[in-house]
Structure 1
Amino acid sequence: MKRNFLYACLIALVSVGFTACESDENDEYGEEKIPAGALPTTEFTPGNFEDEPYAEDAIKVEVQSTVEGNPEFSSIELFGDGHYLMSGANNNHAPQKTVKAKREADGSVSIFKKRGTKRMATRANEDGTIIFDNGSYTYGTYTREQKGVYRFNNGALLDLRKLQEGSSTVVYTNSNGRKSTVYVNYAETENTDWTGSLCRSWRMNSFETWHYLNGAYIAHGKQWITNGVVSHNIDLSPAAQKWDYDKDDVLDEDSEFCYRVIFSTNNTYICFYMDHTAEVAKWDWTNPYNGVLHYWDPWDSDNSDWEGDTTVRFKGKQMRIYEDYTEEESGLDFRMIGVNTLTVGY
């Protein structure tokens, strides 16, 4: 199953064993009834949102080399909400496995659920800067001192006034006052109506999911956050009992709820979790005219372990991301439908 970058992030490693049944025995336990609102509308309309305060400053530069010494970072990205993401000079991380359904030799079936990309522990410095996994990323706020010159909250300064498309140079002064000229690559991005709607900071309101096995509805779960507190509700059908499917198999712990999401015009995706971990991945449009986007793990060399498509819809100040994944193996059809509801804000 191609796992999504929001729901997969909410599920920790679980191994669920249940007794396999013939597919024709499922009829008495229910049908694959998809509720209203679980699937996206056919029409896609871009959102009507105000620009973020630093929307015109959103940019990403990737390091080639420095005039002397080793670069302190491999890339810097400025987001439209006034935050930046600096990637460490030697940043890399390995993807993790996705969901699999497997029939065992004794006839039982195991579903293995694991996060898509590597989650990184975070810690906050006294100045509010957030450090990911020993410096793999640094995340903080910035202000514009003048056009093309930006001051980070840790005191560092980024001077982009000589930046040109292609190969160019920028001047970076770190928090200790050390100044260096850095050779970078820079490419302008096209900010269409649909990209402008998606690319901003979002607050997660809720995640809702429905599970089906061999055509039978087996579970429904919903997680939501109110005033920083995550709550949940889970319902199981009679079919779930027959498959020995329990509530722990529907949603992850509330502590791992993804409460904040960022999409950038430079195809960066970030998710922050309640358990003080974070995840960084990539996204791009598969079909922008229908609101279909593709996600993948940039550290997966063959892009096979963690990638897929989701559908976005906008309404008012909200966005919904719709997911629909199916895994078929050994005569079993396991389907997960998910709806993520997010609101503009940071």
Structure 2
Amino acid sequence: MSATTYRSLLIREIRIETDDTKSFVLEAVDGLPVSYLPGQFLTLVFHNQLGEEERRNYSISSSPWINEPLTITVKRIANGRYSRFLVDEARPGDILLTAGTSGFFTLPESVPDTFALCLFAAGSGITPVFSIIKSCLVRYPNLNIHLLYSNRSKGSAIFQQELEALQSRYPQRFHCRFLYSDAMRLQEARLHVPMIESVLQQVSSQQTLFYLCGPFEYMRTIAMVLQGNGVPAIHIRREIFLLEKPRVQPIPPDTDKHLVVIHGKETHAIRVQYPETILQAARKQGVYLPYSCESGQCGTCTASCIRGTVWMWRNEVLLDEELAAGRVLTCTGYPVGGDVELRF
């Protein structure tokens, strides 16, 4: 994607959510709608002091199904250059650049009436979850929704009042439990295994979709408990916020490979050799493919492998059935064992 294909977004309104979190109501300058699904994120494009492009993903907190304007919610991170810029410096009327929306933390095309939805969120992990909750309450009138939301304190809970309002409006369908680390009763302070299991007793493990968003260890623990109680892995979705870039694990030396990339109406021939990833090689050779995190955690760079084999040093987003269907991540992927053809 070249710079000419970026879209400009006007900051129409800024809302203060907590002491360190703000929501940004956005509007496309070209007047056309920005398409997205509940649970997805918006990729913003920035340029550092050297003029180099840097991308950051911010979860969308609005719902595309209830006629809300596109809104992202951003928590200020102490060492986050661009979250600090947005929360501290951005003003209504400013223009932001976007490479579009993406993400796999979404609902299936249809949710059966017999299913339930169970969501676990910690801190700012509520942002995509809030979009999913609002959307489901409108789209699926028979769907029961359970939310367990963990925070340091009531004052740090994003969308606290909005969630309480939804709970009052849909008392039979939306069941929300708030957990605060500063609570006097330890049983109400932190999420624990018996609490997770008590939720499982209220739903069918085979007919419930589970969505987890928060710190890595928080989600790992929940997923282990869920699967230990019979929840199929295919029913569990996770969204990772804080991206890590661990050292690439070496694989046996490999020769350079020929790679054919079909991106839209364009076809490109690229040479790739480990340790350079497919994404890095493409960019180096002037081919601009979709990407964001470059860590195998967001899925923006996903392509379909229609010939050959791609080895990935990290994958935190593609499920087993997607891997079996040939989906690969180009930001952590390398062609191995022969030439490869990818389609976006």
TM-score w.r.t. the length of structure 2 is 0.21
Q: Which has the larger radius of gyration?
A: 1
TM-score w.r.t. the length of structure 1 is 0.21
Higher strand share: 1
